[in-house]
Amino acid sequence: MAQKLKQDIHIGNNIRKLRKQARLTQEQVTAHLQLQGIEISRSSYSQIECGTYNIRISELIALADLFQVDYNAFFENLNLPCFTK
């Protein structure tokens, strides 16, 4: 029997919102990331925004720098599960 995988929380919508606020295209964002030494295609970046590609920490750091935001901006308005001890 195949097990159904639970969808994880993704920050793609927030990344898309930040990109649009910065008035940048996906192509411009990927060009910036590539200049920072991050190997990413526009297709992979699009998958980040769609939530089908797990973003790497190096990409997140570069995006925070590009969008000039605090890391908390990536996690705003997410329905995060409560973790208890």
pLDDT in tens, 72-84: 999 988 766 555 4
| Other CB atoms within 10 Å distance of the CB of residue 58 | 14
The model's pTM is: 0.81
* Residue 59: closest CA among 78, 28, 37: 37
With a cut of 60, say whether residue 7 has pLDDT above it: no
What kind of architecture, by CATH, is found in domain 12-70? Answer: Orthogonal Bundle (1.10)
Token output for 8:
């994880």
Rounded (5°) CA angle 72-77-82: 90
Tens digit of each residue's pLDDT (9 = 90 or more) over 47-69: 999 989 989 999 999 999 999 99
With a cut of 60, say whether residue 3 has pLDDT above it: no
With a cut of 80, say whether residue 40 has pLDDT above it: yes
Token output for 54:
């797990």
Kindly provide the residue ranges of all beta strands, DSSP E only, lying in the chain, ordered along the sequence. none
Q: How far apart are CA 17 and CA 27, in angstroms?
A: 15
